[in-house]
Amino acid sequence: MILSLFTNKKNCIFKIISALLTFTICACAFTLDVHADTPNYEEAAAQRKALPIQSNGTPNWPEGPEVSAESAIVMEVNTGTILYAKNIHEELYPASTTKIMTCLLAAENAALSDMVTFSHDAVFSVPHDGSSIGMDVGESITLEQALYGIMVGSANEVANAVAEHVSGSIDNFIKLMNDKAKSLGCTNTHFANTNGLQEDNHYTSVYDLALISSEFFSNELLCNVANTPRYHFEPTATQPDEFYLNNKHKLITGEIKYDGIVGGKTGYTDLARETLVTCAERDGMKLVCIVFMEESPTQFTDTVTLFDYAFNNFHLVNVADNESRYMPNDSLFFESENDVFGKSGNILSLDDTSSIILPKTSSINDTSYAVSYDLTAQEKEAYPTALAKISYTYNKVPVGYAMLCYSLSKAPSDATLGGMHTIYIDVRILLIIAVAIIILLTIFGSVGSRAFHHRTFSSRSDKIRYRRRKREFKRGRLKNKFK
């Protein structure tokens, strides 16, 4: 009996130990399997850092730094010059940097005072664990508040509500997003939602997003919204809660200090990893820096590195102040020193706001240029007196352009003119006017002659007297002729 109890107890202990060993082995196997499937993000970042930098292949171009982003770009907003390029056309997931396009379209198609109401679809079509500011169905905020909710709080449901307000439905707004992207020159972009939530068919490239961001940061209102570190929502009749939104962009909050920040937007999904858009302005250059597929916090430190590279190695060159080369032969009146009026000044001149971006070690004489007289509608609207566009390249890299404009009038530089203004007249216009006057005089002279020879008389006696004088005039001419 005692032996039997001992044996049973021993068996129980053995079974317990066996079970514990089995559980431990299974747990270790599961842990090993999980770790085997978990990506090594540090190793992936190191591999990305070793990827080639395409802009370094341009002769005499300042060598750009290595960054751990899969793709990265630095673009100057006003000229479109690409200062740094690494896989800039690769199609990747943008995550919440998508919201830059959402806010751009909202600002273009609605008023700040518009009330944006939250529908059931706007609130519940986004995951509960995603970025939001906790808006409920039926609540309303102004469009201005919505912009801050999207850019500062990265609120997914607010992006959807704005889309419905602007276009009537989320699907219609997504179509508007893709149409706008095409109009800006994007060729590697397709939007599938308003907020950047992970979808296979939702992608863009850093180059395309730089085009979109350049448009965004050309809007002063959007710059102010995108450069807000903290925003206060106060309760209203249509939104009862009071709360604060804190920006996660460390260059905007000042956690990482950098002079000249204009604004930016963060983004993250498991597949996109960290994405970041930032705009900064110094010495007349407004730069957009975009990095895709980074690991935190290097998206911020790499952005600083790229900004330093760009600001330290490039400068803005005003074309009108520095261009001394002879301009194209087919610019009919670029210099009017030899016109029929003598030396009267410039009939055509370069727009004094046109600038290009060059390495600090180079001058405008190191560039090549091409002339185009086929101006776009946007260019004609921006430069009403423009006749041609001069496009500049540096070792085949586009670095900006200048507009060749018709000068209607200019203030003289000679102080002896006493403040008078010299008016420059196109000779072609004078010739056209002169020809028109001659034609008119010819026409009216002919009509007057016919009127004289076909005159009418008020009475018979007037007619007789006119004929008699006419005969006497002819006789007098004949007598004079044969004298």
Residue tagged active-site, from 71, 96, 140, 205: 96
Per-residue pLDDT, averaged over 348-358, amounts to 89
**Which helix H or strand E contains 141, and what residues bound it?**
strand 140-142
- Residue 173: strand, helix, or coil: helix
Q: Is the pLDDT at 409 greater than 90, yes or no? A: no
Residue tagged active-site, from 55, 86, 99, 354: 99
Q: Is the pLDDT at 443 greater than 90, yes or no? A: no
Q: Is the pLDDT at 13 greater than 90, yes or no? A: no
- Per the annotation, the verdict on 372 as an active-site residue is no
3-state secondary structure 269-305: ECCCEEEEEEEEEECCEEEEEEEEEECCCHHHHHHHH
- Residue 266: strand, helix, or coil: strand
- What are the tens digits of pLDDT across the range 70-95? 999 999 999 999 999 999 999 999 99
Mean of all residue pLDDT scores within the chain: 83
Residue 171 in tokens:
């699907």
Range with the lowest mean pLDDT among 51-55, 142-146, 354-358, 467-471?
Answer: 467-471
Which position has the higher pLDDT, 321 or 106? 106
Binding residues for substrate: 265
Which position has the higher pLDDT, 158 or 376? 158
How many angstroms from the chain centroid is the CA of residue 143? 22
Q: In 320-451, at which residue ranges do the beta strands (DSSP E only) sit?
A: 348-350, 355-359, 368-372, 386-394, 397-406, 409-410, 422-423
- Per the annotation, the verdict on 99 as an active-site residue is yes
Q: Is the pLDDT at 243 greater than 60, yes or no? A: yes
246 strand-pairing partners: 230
Are the C-beta atoms of residues 135 and 245 closer than 8 Å to each other? no
Residue in 186, 191, 161, 233 with CA at minimum distance from that of residue 96: 191
Taking CA atoms, 334 is separated from 351, 387, 405, 456, in Å, by: 13, 11, 9, 58
The neighbour count for residue 382, using CB atoms within 10 Å, is 12
Per-residue pLDDT, averaged over 106-115, amounts to 97
Per-residue pLDDT, averaged over 191-210, amounts to 97
Q: pTM here?
A: 0.76
- Per the annotation, the verdict on 218 as an active-site residue is no
Are the C-beta atoms of residues 140 and 116 closer than 8 Å to each other? yes
Is the domain defined by 46-314 classed in CATH 3.40.50.300? no
Can you give the residue ranges of every domain in the chain?
A: 46-314, 323-427
* Residue 114, pLDDT score: 97
Residue 127 is given by DSSP the state: -
* Residue 341, pLDDT score: 35
Determine the Cα–Cα distance for residues 54 and 52; give it in Å rounded to an integer.
6
Q: How many residues does the chain have?
A: 483
* Residue 54, pLDDT score: 97
- Residue 250: strand, helix, or coil: helix
How does 140-163 read in b/e, with b if 16+ C-beta sit within 10 Å? bbbbbbbbbbbbbbbbbbbbbbbb
